[in-house]
Structure 1
């Protein structure tokens, strides 16, 4: 999923430069001007998905949800079960293509929701159900 997303993002950037550059008269496009952009895009597609896969982690315990995200800078987040307000799953077009889904755990934190991306759809649905039950069983006001 991440490889396909990175490839689509890179292709969109190249198309944007190819179309908007000459149309807006920003520059007279030559092949050698496009080569560095294509090389950067190829490097992005080759490195970023594997890097994200190695870094992104999540875990659910009886007391909290733990996530680790990021590839330039890493962020580790913990959401105690007593603070969980909502648990949702969603699928974008690329996720749907691969049968995957994303889970979002919303708390009252100013840092925003925790996300677990790229789960098998069934795993995502089971995680939502599990977190809903666990959060409901813990005493707390979810604020």
Structure 2
């Protein structure tokens, strides 16, 4: 946080997610959108009584899916940021809407890491910081797997040294 004319201004988190997030999000979107488009096309083609103009809706759905696969990963990569300091965990995420979360270290209860099969193929992992907050946990998706391990270790060390109770 910096001061501008005596008013505190929140800066964006310092770190980007891994560049491998772009191909990971692209593949994830491609698989999900392909299932949706193929399913819609099969319904249009195989189910009797579906009007012919429904094929135009399937085509429109396919065009939206292509735009989603091409644009979403790049926009998410530009937006998603994270930072861990001795005092807080700070994240920003989204691709249509934006969400910024800041959790004081004193509120951190657990730190978990996750690496699914597809994430492993791209060398990625995610961390989840559970806090004493009604807003739920803070997740940092698509970190380089080594970075995620270091962040988990650092957060564990910082929270262990913090005397405040995270309840």
Measure, in 2, the Cα distance between the counterparts of 1:68 and 1:79: 12
Measure, in 1, the Cα distance between the counterparts of 2:48 and 2:162: 61
Identify which of structures 1 and 2 has the higher relative contact order when contacts are C-alpha pairs closer than 8 Å and 6+ apart: 2
Report the TM-score, using the length of structure 2 for normalisation: 0.78
Q: 1:5 aligns with which of 19, 28, 32?
A: 28
| Unmatched 5+ stretches in structure 1 | none
User: Which structure features the higher share of helix residues?
Assistant: 1
1:1-143 map, 5 Å: 1-22=24-45, 25=48, 27=50, 32-143=56-167
Q: Cα deviation per residue 1:46-82 (whole Å; 9 max; x = unaligned)?
A: 1110010010000011101100011222111111111
Change (3 A) 1:42 1:21: same
Q: SS state of the match for residue 163, structure 2?
A: coil
| Unmatched 5+ stretches in structure 2 | 1-23
Q: Tell me how large the CA RMSD over aligned residues is.
A: 1.8
TM-superposed deviation, 1:37: 1.3
- Could you tell me which residue of structure 1 aligns to residue 14 of structure 2? none
